[in-house]
Amino acid sequence: MNATASVGKKVAVIGAGLAGVSAALRLLQHGHQVCLFEAAPQAGGRARGVPHHTTLLDNGQHLCIGAYRATLTLLQEAQLESGQVFMRLPLTLHMHHGTQRMSLVTPAWLPAPLHLLWGLLTAQGLDWHSKWRAICWMQQLKQQAFTLAQDIPVAELLRQGQQTPFAIRTLWEPLCLAALNTPIIFASAQIFLNVLRDSFQHRRQDSDFLVVKTDLSSALIQPLLQRIQESGGEVRLRCPVTAIKATDAGCEISTTTDVAIFDDVIIAAGPHQLKTMTGVAIPAFDYQPITTVYLQYSTETRLPHSIMGLCHGLAQWVFDRGQCCDQAGLLAVVISAHPPLIADKTALVAQCIAEINLALSTYHCSLPAQPLWSQIITEKRATFSCTPSLQRPATHTADPHIFLAGDYVAGPYPATIEGAVSSGFAAAQAIIDSADLTR
């Protein structure tokens, strides 16, 4: 056994988003020394809290599902109770297309996949032809193990599955946008099927919605960072890495303040930052934005449902954060994979309110024309465009001491919290395995 192996490897993790945080925690649990670098003043990456006056928002309204096993494992390993972090809601869809409304409720007393079939069968506002075609299609997908011989766009998959225009508009398209953040005419059918398979085919609770109970920084990122530090890890915020150089002694990490040598490096920064740090180039990704429009109303304002789907305009979802996150009167309107938005922020807010009110008209209620305040947050590179047969880089690189982590790394999922956490675990495991070989 060499001296380095006996005390664990010295590993630099670059990027304190969920991929980097997950990798750091897993390495620390296996006795390795970790220094976590983050260029920004706060950790979390695209899953962070954002202060607005006296309110803590998120950089975007996130939604997880019960099938996110890596995410739930991360909480368990960090000794965080999932019930304290997430509100768990059994799958219920309340979708609104103009003045039409479709509601799908899955029963808690049926196992998967029967709960989905029952939900489709009893869905209100969905015509019988749409129900029958959806049920037949799900059975067909199950028979082919949710696997395609060749990847195609989701729109083509739905055409082949003979889904009705109304079912596409109020069910499949919103689910695809929520999961892949890519329009169905471009989105990868195989990745979409991976999400459907994991959500509906194993355990009933896999299809539950998991909504973070407070802002992401308070509920998730800060407790994870605290656990890293308690486990002996070093966290360096406001510390951008400017270069990574392979040397005989290991990997030389240069920051704006110093230079240090590490045995291995996990790069958990965005793919567009790789070449700057390492000179390593990977195929360029196209990106899709997500805009979240926050609307604060008086504390007694409450939507009919905690999550409502909007299928008739620019926005796709509205979350009542009073019901989900104990932020009374605060609504979060999600606009996924959108074209350039109206430059006039007042006009954009007014459009979102109009679209919500059109949905609320089916409940004979409406929002006031003006909120107390509003805030618009756009993540321009929220996700990569998840297109058919997209080539994504592997965890391992040409350098045996440099590894990649991030939701863009090759895997079965699109750019999600689960994809980020899974990639962090995979990169950490690669180092753990390499250390075992040297013992």
What confidence score (pLDDT) does residue 171 get?
Answer: 96
Name the pLDDT band for 438 (thresholds 50, 70, 90).
low
pLDDT tops 70 at residue 279: no
Mean pLDDT confidence for 161-179: 97
Residue 47, phi then psi, degrees to nearest 5: -130, 70
What confidence score (pLDDT) does residue 232 get?
Answer: 97
Mean pLDDT confidence for 355-374: 96
Burial 222-235 (b: 16+ CB within 10 A, else e): bbbbebbeeeebeb
What confidence score (pLDDT) does residue 439 get?
Answer: 61
pLDDT tops 80 at residue 2: no
What confidence score (pLDDT) does residue 276 get?
Answer: 73
What confidence score (pLDDT) does residue 108 get?
Answer: 87
Is 61 within 8 Å of 334 (Cβ atoms)?
A: yes
User: Closest by alpha carbon to 72, among 432, 423, 417, 306?
Assistant: 417
Name the pLDDT band for 3 (thresholds 50, 70, 90).
very low
Residue with tokens 């920084």: 217
3-state DSSP assignment of residue 250: strand
Mean pLDDT confidence for 180-203: 96
What confidence score (pLDDT) does residue 275 get?
Answer: 74
What confidence score (pLDDT) does residue 131 get?
Answer: 97
Q: What is the pLDDT of residues 88-102, one digit of tens each?
A: 999 999 999 999 999
Strand order in the sheet with 259-262: 241-247, 250-255, 259-262
3-state DSSP assignment of residue 223: helix
What confidence score (pLDDT) does residue 35 get?
Answer: 98
**Percent of the chain, pLDDT > 70?**
97
What confidence score (pLDDT) does residue 249 get?
Answer: 80
What pTM did the predictor assign? 0.94
DSSP 51-106: EETTEEEESS---EETT-HHHHHHHHHTT--HHHHEEEE--EEEEEETTEEEEEE-
> What mean pLDDT, rounded, does the chain reach?
94
What confidence score (pLDDT) does residue 278 get?
Answer: 73
pLDDT tops 50 at residue 345: yes
Cα gap 197→202, rounded to integer Å: 8
User: Closest by alpha carbon to 58, among 46, 48, 66?
Assistant: 48
Mean pLDDT confidence for 328-336: 97
Q: How far apart are the first and last CA of the chain?
A: 5
The one-character DSSP state at 272 is G
Mean pLDDT confidence for 244-256: 90
Give the pair of three-digit tokens for residue 184.
């169905």
pLDDT tops 60 at residue 4: no
What confidence score (pLDDT) does residue 437 get?
Answer: 67
